[in-house]
Amino acid sequence: MSRDENDAVSFHLPSWLADYATSYRTDWSDDERMLFVIEASRRNVVQGTGGPFAAGVFEIGSRRLISLGVNLVTTEKLSILHAEMVAFILAQRTLQTYDLGGAGMASHELFTSSEPCAMCFGAIPWSGVRCVVCAARASDAMAIGFDEGPKMVEWCEELKRRGIDTVRDVQRDAAREVFSDYARLGGRIYNSREAT
């Protein structure tokens, strides 16, 4: 390991992602917004660019899309690159802030095609988003072999205590279909070493 190799760290976004993001419209309903995110997860599977998960950060009120992330764990060989983490990284770089709920800023929300795992749950309060909207349940991801890691059972209540709302089951069936496709196509399943 040379020191030069660690002067900067980067990862690559799939080449299709930016074009796809331009199809977003701010007048869509919450269901339509979630379907837009889920379609990104489906394309990630079809294009072979990562796992069956996607997430987006939106400005609350204007519904402006700040960032769209997909799971890049296997393709970029980085365990932290869950869709929610990618969405947070891109949003914070775009807005040039480590706190998406900083003073004087618009509020932001996260739409995710699957409920957050332990890592992404932990990242939510740090990110500064004020609301998390989820499609598939963690149990849906677990049904094809993923696991959510050591996450507290009362995670929604914990977020609420920190002033962050949670909305669940928005277009859950559509997100589950992508999981089924991924499993059928033999997509790689990795996990957090859940005790057996």
Give the interface segment with Zn ion, choosing from 8-16, 32-40, 77-85, 153-161 (CB under 5 A): 77-85
Which residues are within 8 A (CB) of 123 and not within 5 positions of it... i.e. 6 or more apart?
84, 85, 88, 116
Write down the least CB distance from residue 113 to Zn ion, Å.
11
Residue 53 C-beta: closest distance to Zn ion, Å: 8
DSSP label at 71? -
Q: What is the DSSP string of 115-163?
A: ---HHHHHHHHHHT-SEEEEEE-HHHHHTTT----S--TTHHHHHHHTT
- State the Cα–Cα distance between residues 16 and 43, nearest whole angstrom: 9
Q: Which is nearer to Zn ion, 25 or 168 (CB)?
A: 168
Residues 6+ apart with CB under 8 A from 127: 88, 91, 92, 99, 100, 110
- Per the DSSP assignment, residues forming a β-bridge with 166 are 132
Binding of residue 130 to Zn ion (CB under 5 A): no
Applying CB under 5 A, does 117 fall inside the site for Zn ion? yes
Q: Closer to Zn ion by CB, 3 or 162: give it.
A: 162
Which of the stretches 80-88, 131-139, 168-176, 178-186 binds Zn ion when contact is defined by CB under 5 A?
A: 80-88
137 and 97 Cβ atoms separated by less than 8 Å? no
User: Of residues 81-100, which lie at the interface with Zn ion (CB under 5 A)?
Assistant: 82
Site for Zn ion in 154-193 (CB under 5 A): none
Q: How far is the CB of 48 from Zn ion (least distance, A)?
A: 20
Tokens 């009362």, residue located = 154
* Cβ closest to Zn ion, residue 13 vs residue 106: 13
Q: Binding to Zn ion (CB under 5 A): which residues in 23-62?
A: none
Residue 128 CB, shortest distance to Zn ion, in Å, is 17
Does 123 contact Zn ion by CB under 5 A?
no
Nearest residue to 90 (alpha-carbon basis) of 15, 160, 13, 25: 13
Residue 59 in tokens: 């400005």
| Interaction of residue 120 with Zn ion, rule CB under 5 A | yes
When the beta carbons of 106 and 118 are compared against Zn ion, the nearer one is 118
Binding site for Zn ion (CB under 5 A): 82, 117, 119-120
